[in-house]
Structure 1
Amino acid sequence: MTTYNTAVMPEAHEYAGRSPFHLTEEQIQFFDDNGYLILRNWIPQDLLQRLQNAGEAWIQQGYASQEGQPLHKDYAFTQRPHGRVMFRVEYLHNKGQEASLELLGSPYVQAVAESLTGANFVPTYESMVFKEKQDGAAIRWHQDAVHPRSYRIFNYDLYLDRSTADGGALRVIPGSQKRRQDICDLTDRFGWEPENVITVEMEPGDVLLHDVMVVHGSPQVEGKNLRRTIYYEFRAAEEIIKEGPWDRTWIDRRLRLLPEAQRHFRQRYPQVEPFTWNVTPDFRPENLTSDKVELKVEHGTHTGGTFCSAGDAGKKEA
């Protein structure tokens, strides 16, 4: 088992007229070959601290929510041997913490999204997945979503807390993103030790980019420290039009989040060079005003993933 720990960071001078946070050709090639890429120390400390505080608030809000309340269904709970625990928060932007929009509107996110999915990148999902201090449950091997691979679809995973090999860090199988995998066969043959498996150790502020088809998971461990990760998924608008599962109206509603998020980032960090949104005219939303932005744009349907149990198909895990 290999632990991948190499720092990768683009140099500003490589991008005349572009954000220093666009990926290099070498980084994109590594992502295409392996299905993942690590960006070390990617998020500045001030924004990271705001997101850590937001993560704490979302967890508190989730435990305080009651059945029947409007946002209660956005918090996912499960039963562990030591009791009922929450493990996921969906639709982050309408939960009263502006940091999630600041992150989405930052060049640290949008330049990466443009690098991998093109000018018409669409923010399709936003969630926080976490394991509490005593929760060491496994996340089984899986592929998030299976698609024809005409376009890149990826998750931007921002780590709010340290994740180490002995604490149940994520494992990734490089190259497994290139086709649908038989997860049951893989599990039966190799357990948690397939050939070339990578253990992804991360520090707060590090970002993991992972292809939605790369096989990943984490084994059960004795509960260590709190581990929170923010996930933003991105797809090209052209891919959604061609392959679904959403329509052009849904794309328009989602794209409206981007300039609104940029506005939040500029207000909080006016000293940082903003990202230039290069969306093409055929996808640029009309009448871009804050009062027309929905902070929660629900999905209704999903692209199915691959898990060991056929009954799990279509669920999204992180």
Structure 2
Amino acid sequence: MTPVQPGHLTDEQIAAFDRDGYLVLRDRIPPSLLARLQAAADGWIAAGRGRDGEPDYEFADRPAGRALFRVDYLHAKGDPASLELLGSPALLGIAESLAGPDFVPTYESLVFKDRGDGAPIAWHQDAVHPRAHRIFNCGVYLDPSRAGAGALRVLPGSQRGPADICALTDAHGWEPSGVVEVELAPGDVLLHDVMLVHGSPPVRGNALRRTLYFEFRPAEQILAEGPWDLDWVRRRMRLLPPALARHHRAHPDVTPFAWRAGDQLRPAGEAVAEAEHLRVAHEVHTPGTHCSAGGVT
């Protein structure tokens, strides 16, 4: 079936995503935007290295000391490339295909492994929910991710319910039946259901690997199940007009995405790209599952 508008997924792609819990879209991000995102990521990482303890920057203990591995709320970090990505048909076509026209951009983060950082990311599910709606992450890859070098591993079909991560790890380690190691190139996008079991094993001599994660949820899901309210949803929706405008300025020859959200969710008047509006924080999160010393949490 022909997609409804540019960037939409086909029926076959949607069926594959629903079956497996993930979908790879090759060369999804145009080279010019990819280059701007790579440069922006360098800047976000450099700016964050000395900010351990600040809320938008996550650090972890490594053999060489504390290491930055995540930067949140990218739109408020001074580089417009993240807004350009959010406003692109390449991303919003996915969001509308899987969440409908009232999709909400719920998270935007840079997650990375620095050069020489081969620490594992243990098996986990990002968030567990009743599954009345799709909740999904769009992972935009800025660097190669290769088998044997820390590429993400996924368990197809594992998104259908909460997983016992401790039992899985104890019984199978990194090699459960059916595991897939997903190889990706810069500009590829990996979609994954937030309940898909995924992780990456430890490696040695790992190269820099940066991924931008943009999560989307239907407004209907949030308003029915939380953990946020209508006011928060409307504040997140205020990100979309400046994002669409930013993408159009950078790509005037590309047909803009036709945003079709309901009037009750669209911002009143002109939404502006001011820093105080671009950082729409989360006071709470939907819990996921992982294996901790105390069991599955």
TM-score interval, smaller chain: over 0.9
2:102: which partner in 1? 120
Task: Please report how far the alpha carbon of residue 261 of structure 1 lies from its aligned counterpart in structure 2 after TM superposition.
Answer: 0.4
How far apart are the structure 1 equivalents of 2:52 and 2:253?
41
Q: Aligned match of 2:47 in 50, 56, 61?
A: 61
Task: Please report how far the alpha carbon of residue 291 of structure 1 lies from its aligned counterpart in structure 2 after TM superposition.
Answer: 6.4
How far apart are the structure 2 equivalents of 1:291 and 1:165?
39
1:306: which partner in 2? 289
Task: Please report how far the alpha carbon of residue 14 of structure 1 lies from its aligned counterpart in structure 2 after TM superposition.
Answer: 1.9
Q: Aligned match of 1:45 in 23, 31, 38?
A: 31
1:34: which partner in 2? 20
Q: Deviations over 1:52-102 (max 9, x none)?
A: 0000000100014476xxxx3211111111222110001100111100000
What's the TM-score once normalised by structure 2's chain length? 0.96
1:202 aligned onto 2:184: yes
1:14 aligned onto 2:2: yes
Runs (4 or more) in structure 1 with deviation over 6 Å come to: none
Q: Is the 8 A contact 1:14 1:20 kept in 2?
A: no
Structure 1 residues 311, 266: closer, same or farther in 2, change over 3 A?
A: farther
2:146: which partner in 1? 164
How far apart are the structure 1 equivalents of 2:294 and 2:248?
45
How far apart are the structure 1 equivalents of 2:10 and 2:112?
30
1:296: which partner in 2? 279
Q: Deviations over 1:16-70 (max 9, x none)?
A: xx43310000000000000000000100000000000000000100014476xxx
Matches of residues 74-89 of structure 1 in structure 2 within 5 Å? Answer: 74-89=56-71
Q: Deviations over 1:230-280 (max 9, x none)?
A: 000000000000000000000000001011100111111111111000101
How many pairs are equivalent?
296
Matches of residues 175-194 of structure 1 in structure 2 within 5 Å? Answer: 175-194=157-176
Instruction: Letter of the 1:282 partner, please give it.
Output: Q
How far apart are the structure 2 equivalents of 1:125 and 1:313?
24
Q: Is the 8 A contact 2:137 2:191 kept in 1?
A: yes
Structure 2 gap ranges (5+): none
How far apart are the structure 1 equivalents of 2:52 and 2:24?
38
2:197: which partner in 1? 215
Q: Aligned match of 2:206 in 214, 219, 224?
A: 224
Q: Deviations over 1:97-120 (max 9, x none)?
A: 100000000000001100000000
How far apart are the structure 1 equivalents of 2:89 and 2:295?
35
**Structure 2 counterpart SS, 1:308:** strand
Q: Is the 8 A contact 2:52 2:68 kept in 1?
A: no
Structure 1 residues 95, 313: closer, same or farther in 2, change over 3 A?
A: farther
How far apart are the structure 1 equivalents of 2:109 and 2:130?
24
1:5: which partner in 2? none
How far apart are the structure 2 equivalents of 1:224 and 1:139?
13
Structure 1 residues 291, 101: closer, same or farther in 2, change over 3 A?
A: closer
Structure 1 gap ranges (5+): 1-12
Instruction: Letter of the 2:2 partner, please give it.
Output: E
How far apart are the structure 1 equivalents of 2:52 and 2:206?
28
How far apart are the structure 1 equivalents of 2:116 and 2:49?
16
What's the TM-score once normalised by structure 1's chain length? 0.90
| Percentage identity across paired residues of the two chains | 56
Across the aligned residues of Structure 1 and Structure 2, the Cα RMSD in angstroms comes to 1.6
